[in-house]
Structures are given as C-alpha cells and as structure tokens.
Structure 1
Amino acid sequence: MAIKSFKRYEKKYLLNKTQYDLLIPKILNYMEFDGHCKNNTNYNIYSIYYDNDNNDVIRHSISKPYYKEKLRLRSYKITKNPEDIVFLELKKKINGIVNKRRIVLTFKEALDFLEKGIRPDTNDYINNQVLNEIEYYLNNNNVHPAVFIGYSRKAFFAKDNHDFRLTIDSKILTRRYDLSLESGHFGEDILDQNQYLMEVKILGSIPLWFTRILSELKIYNTHFSKYGTEFMNYTKEQLNIKRREQLC
C-alpha cells in the first residue's frame, strides 16, 4: 500500500471547442504533459462516489458549506481482477482549500474494507492514519455506492513548477445503476456537446502567463461540480417522472 496527500486550491473553467483548440498550443509553451498522458493522449478516470439514500453528502456539498467531505473509490483503468490497483480517497474542502487523503489498495482490499469492514493490514503509520480517517467516516456516515462518474482527461504540469497543475476533462459520463468499476465507461454525459471542463490546481498563485492566456481567450472562472451537476440532473429527472405520473 502507498499513500498520497494533497492540499491545494482548485479553480474551474468551462471551455468550448474553439477555446480548447487555441488553449492547448499556448499552454504547451509553459507546460508539459503529465506522465499518464502517454504519447500526448488522454487517459481515463473511473470513480464510484459514496452517499446515503437521501443523497445527504451531495446535498450538503452543493450548499457551499465551510467544510465538506466526500468518499470515493477510483481507478485509472477498468478493473479486471481482485489484484488490480485502486485508490480509496477521502476528499475534504475547508474554506476553499482542498485536502485529499488517498490510500492505494488492491480492488479486493478496497471492497473488503468498504463492504465487510475488513481493514487492510499495514504496519505503516501514515497508511494507518488514513485508514483511521476513512474508517471513522464510514462508521459515522451510512453511505454506499451512489454514483459512477467517469471521464477522459488530459493533464499538464508547469515546466518550472510542478505544483501548478492543469487538467482538461471531457466525456464526463455518469450513472446511478451498475455501480462497479468493473462495468466500464458509459452513462449520461453531463457536459454539452464540444464542451470541456478545465481545472487548475494550485498551491500558491496562478502564473501571470496563464492569466494572460485566459484573458486573451475570454475564459472565465466558474463553479462546477461533477457530482453536483449529476445530482441536479438526477433531481430534475425525478421531478419530471413524478409530474408525468400525476398526469396519468
């Protein structure tokens, strides 16, 4: 097992196809592709988000509280066997600062922990601290797999500062059925056609060269949550179903 901990600010932007096409060559003057982007291609991310029957986790999150947290199980490929590597993450946001606690497990270890309460065996102090946090969350929140969210990602690091990271996501597909990392990438796309979600992840200030590019291309900061958008779409769909039933 291994652990990573992240603490940063995140800013989000929605791009159209023209902005996207103009942006990439400009940022490549200052940035380089993430190691996951082999031969400059996109890579995929698959996540299962955990919530309760009343969707209290995401309801609380979209209310813009001072503190919020989400639990998710993530993979960078479609899991094929119990020994495939997955990432169990507790993502917290405190007054706008994102803190992500992550532990790397086998798929079997993760499911045994989440579904049966069987704690992975480790002698590492930091790994145990993260497991303690996730175990506490599970004991105090009656959550279960609620939503699948998968997408295609292109990622970059600044050449002179790897703490400045940029990701661009497309084909953000979601579903509330067949909630398994083994089932593949399908569902409802929450982005409009030819639309992209760009996220800037920073520890300090945004570089001046990047703000100039944003200004030139008229790209503006926005509020966008993948899970939040999925939930709003789901809520509208449920209301429409009820209205149709009342008319029958």
Structure 2
Amino acid sequence: MAIEVFNRYENKFLLDQTTYQKIQQRLLWYMEPDQYNRDQEFYTISNIYYDTKDNYLIRNSLAKPKYKEKLRIRSYGTPKADAKVYVEIKKKVCGLVNKRRTALKLDEAYNFVSTGIQPELKIYMNKQVMNEIAYILSLYSLEPKLYLAYDRKALFCKDDNDLRITFDTNIRTRRYDLRLESGDYGESLLERDQWLMEVKAEKSIPLWLSKLLSEHKIFPTSFSKYGVEHKRMVLRNKQLKGDVNVCLRPYSTQRQLVPQYL
C-alpha cells in the first residue's frame, strides 16, 4: 500500500543543467532511484489544484503564514476514467510539511471535491483522510484552478529511509481544460534545462549532503510551483491592463539565498 501520511521538512533548490548532472552523480554514491525510476529515467506527476474563486488558498500561502494548506488531485501520468488517483491535503505548519492523501477512482475524486459528499467506502480508501478532506471542503467553496505537471527523478537514501531527494523538470501548467485525463500539456514554468531539486527529510539532513551542497554552492530558495504560476498570472494580467511592465520569469539559478540547512 502506498504511504498516505507524510511529515517532513522540505528544502528547495534551483539548479542549472551542469549542476544537476554533477550533483546527481555524486548522490548515487549514497542514494538509489525509487521504485518509479528503476525502469525509466523520469516519471510524470500531474495535478489539479483547487482554490476559492478569489484564489484565497494560494494568496494566503504566498503571504508565508505559520499555517497554510492546499488541496489537489494527483495522478501519475495521464489517467483514464477508471484509474486510481490521489486526493491530497498539503499543510505546512511552522516549516513542517504534512501531506495526507487517499486513493480514489478518478470520477470518485472529481465528485467528492465538487460536492463534498464522500463516496461509498472501499478498501483502497483512507476513511480518516476523507473525513479531513470533507472538513476542508466544508470550510471553503473550492473549484479547479490549475493543471500542473512535471517530470520527476526521485532518490531515497540507502541508510536513511527518511531522506528523499527529487529532481523536477519540464514543469508545465494551464488554467483551462482542467481535467487530468485531458492530456499532459501546458506552458513551461521554468527556463529550459532548469531543475527544481527538493530535499525532504523528517530530521536534519546528513553531514555528507550538507558538505555536498556547500561544495557545489547550492543554496536553498523559496519556491512553490503553484505560487510561481499564480504570481506569473497576476503579473500578466497587470501587463494586459497596462499597469506594470515586469519580467514574467523572475526565477533563475543565479538568484539563490544564503544557505539555511535543516
């Protein structure tokens, strides 16, 4: 059974192609590909993010409160109508990320999130998580807002099962045709050959990893895929109105912060 509850700290890093190639080779000294990458270099994750009509959840998230939450439906690849997907709640409390999810059939997931009515309980569902999702749905009037997909390579530590590192590339989004089964396409979120690396750990990261990041001058940055897309949309709307003239791609591997390791 897939893990349905996660509690961990997550640090994010933006890498260029050269740094990505160097770092992943070194990481394989200590880590190995997860089950989805054993037969393929990348696997695709597709999401539909839900929010209020006025985008309250993502606006609140970007304000960096001590507590924030998101709701999404996630699939691996492009699902068919009867495929299993995950409905996920992602919360962040004082820096600790908590993710809870339950498996549902695609049509069950759509119906649940749109109506707030839980489907008939089946063996592959997590009743407790469905109760939590139902509670969030009772608090907010949510609607599908964004399709977001990316190709991922994931590694886990041979000696520490709590440590996981992922590399995401080819991040693409769209704000129309918001159905997972409609296909894997959208507008690129990052520059070509740019990578988002995430270090996920329940405790502090090991010393060897801290040294490796310092050696390659890889420093944490604040980056939310949904958040970056939302800010880009807001800026684009302002440009169309003639209110502002700004760059729609403010993120680059040259704009990273002072290291703040866990």
Cα distance in 2, alignment partners of residues 2 and 168 from structure 1: 20
Aligned to 2:200: 201
Q: How far 1:132 moved relative to its partner?
A: 1.2
Tell me the residue number matched to 1:118: 117
Structure 1: how far apart are the matches of 2:242 and 2:200? 41
Give the residue type in structure 2 aligned to 1:62. L
Q: Is the 8 A contact 2:117 2:134 kept in 1?
A: no
- Residue 93 of structure 2: aligned partner: 94
Contact 2:88 2:101 in 1 (8 A): yes
**How much does 1:115 deviate?**
2.2
What's the Cα RMSD here?
A: 1.6
**Structure 2 counterpart of 1:10:** 10
Written as runs of structure 1 = structure 2, the 5 A alignment for 1:23-38 is 23-38=23-38
Q: For residues 132 and 26 of structure 2, what CA distance do their matches in structure 1 show?
A: 41
| 2:158 equivalent in structure 1 | 159
Give the Cα–Cα distance (whole angstroms) in 1 for the partners of residues 113 and 130 of structure 2. Answer: 11
TM-score (norm 2): 0.88
8 Å CA contact 1:85–1:106 kept in 2: the answer is yes
Deviations 1:110-141 (A, max 9, x none): 112122333122277x9222111111111110
> SS at 1:233's partner residue?
helix
Q: Is the 8 A contact 1:3 1:104 kept in 2?
A: no
Aligned residue-pair number: 242
Q: Distance in 1 between matches of 2:216 and 2:108?
A: 46
Q: 3-state SS of the aligned residue for 1:209?
A: helix
More off after superposition, 32-41 vs 132-141:
32-41
Decide whether the 8 Å contact of 1:2 with 1:127 is kept in 2: no
Deviations 1:136-164 (A, max 9, x none): 11111011000111000000001111110
Find runs of 4+ consecutive structure 1 residues off by over 4 angstroms.
none
Amino acid aligned to 2:224: S
**Letter matched to residue 15 of structure 2:** L
The superposition leaves residues 183-225 of structure 1 with CA deviations (integer Å, 9 ceiling, x where unpaired) of 1221121111211000000011111111111111111111100
The whole-number CA distance in structure 2 between the counterparts of 1:14 and 1:203 is: 21
Residue matched to 1:44 = 44
Identity of paired residues, percent?
Answer: 48
Shift of the 3–138 alpha-carbon distance from structure 1 to 2, 3 Å rule, reads: farther
Deviations 1:52-72 (A, max 9, x none): 121111000000001000000
Match of 1:222 in 2: 221
Q: 1:68, 1:92 within 8 Å by CA — same for their partners in 2?
A: yes
Of structures 1 and 2, the one scoring higher in RCO (CA 8 A, sep 6+) is 1
Structure 1, unpaired ranges of 5+: none
**Which of the pair is proportionally richer in strand?**
1
* In 1, Cα distance between equivalents of 2:137 and 2:10: 26
Q: Which one-letter code corresponds to 2:217 in the other structure?
A: K
